[in-house]
Amino acid sequence: MPAPTNRIDARFAALRDAKKKAFVAYVCAGDPTLDATIDIVLGLERAGVDVVELGVPFSDPLADGVVNQMAADRALKAGASTPGVLEMIRKLRTKSQIPLVLFTYLNPIYTYGYECFHHDAAAAGADGVLVLDLPPDEAAQNAELKPAPDLRHIQLIAPTSPADRIASIAKSAEGFVYYVSRLGVTGAQAEIATGIAEQVAVIKAATEVPVCVGFGVSNPEQAAAIASKADGVVVGSAIVKLIEQNGASADCAAKVEAFVKPLVDAVHAL
């Protein structure tokens, strides 16, 4: 069997061979600046993160909680743009080959040009895209929204999704499935959601693509507990909050690395 050429596929294959769980980290590109994002991603890589989701700043991020909304606002005010994010990825690729997923909404992509965005994002060095407000059945009904082969299209599945919809979404999943463990918008939570293992089992019965669980993870114990029930865990708002608190500091990337490493270690120790 030939080795995967996409960085996301290759990373999950290596994790599967090593019998390890994945740690996926989310940050908003451009918060506090695009250059600082490069340093933050390099810090995440040093901490052992397997995949980085880069939020593309957008003025109306409806699926995001206040922490991530504020990050997008800071990034936009600092001058971040979709072309700027792609240029930042080009610069990052001279220093790192960590798998990158662009976490975005349809509006910025459609404004950029759907086909052009996919081509340019792949050329810049992105490996996947997660479009929060583009259901796969909607994309299937619009020729101009057909998935492009250059990027893995990550699909979201919610805890309220019925079995037939889970099967439909999972069938078109690429890279990994992002299972949203609770209803509402993004944000750290005091307790993890219930029923995760059961829902992950339903998803995995419909696809061979790895399943990672997110929404609300903020400490090593939560990260390990969730990762034990899936193929990996996604941590976002807790990292973004730390960046908010330390964005003006010269050692912001180092503080992010120090915060994330115990979470990664807890997941990789499973």
The domain ranges of the chain are 7-268
Percent of the chain having pLDDT more than 90?
74
More confident residue, 218 or 135: 218
Q: By mean pLDDT, which of 39-43, 91-95, 115-119 is the weakest?
A: 115-119
Contacts of 19 (CB under 8 A, 6+ apart): none
- Residue 182 scores a pLDDT above 70: no
Residue 15 contacts residue 48 (beta carbons within 8 Å):
no
Q: Whole-angstrom Cα distance, residue 155 to residue 130?
A: 7
| Distance (Å, whole) CA 28 – CA 104 | 10
Helix axes 252-268 and 34-47, enclosed angle (nearest 10): 30
At residue 181, does pLDDT exceed 90? no
Residue 18 contacts by C-beta under 8 Å, 6 or more apart in sequence?
Answer: none
CB 240 within 8 A of CB 67: yes
Which tokens is 78 given?
Answer: 């600092």
| Alpha carbon distance, N-terminus to C-terminus of the chain | 27
How high is the pLDDT of residue 39?
98
The CATH code of domain 7-268 reads 3.20.20.70
pTM listed for this prediction = 0.93
The Cα–Cα gap between 98 and 72 comes to: 22
State the average pLDDT over residues 23-45.
98
Distance between CA 60 and CA 160 in Å, rounded? 24
What pLDDT does residue 185 have? 42
String of b and e for 237-250 (b: at least 16 CB within 10 Å)?
bbbbbbbbebbeee
Nearest to 110 by CA among 69, 84, 72, 139: 139
Cβ neighbour number for residue 18 with a 10 Å cutoff:
9
Catalytic residue IDs: 53, 64
Q: In whole angstroms, what separates CA 24 from the centre of its chain?
A: 6
227, amino acid identity: A
- The span from the CA of 73 to the CA of 85, in Å, is 15
Residue range 38-50: average pLDDT? 98
Per-residue pLDDT of 124-136, as tens digits, reads: 999 999 999 887 7
55-106 pLDDT per residue, tens: 999 999 888 889 999 999 999 999 999 999 999 999 999 999 999 999 999 9
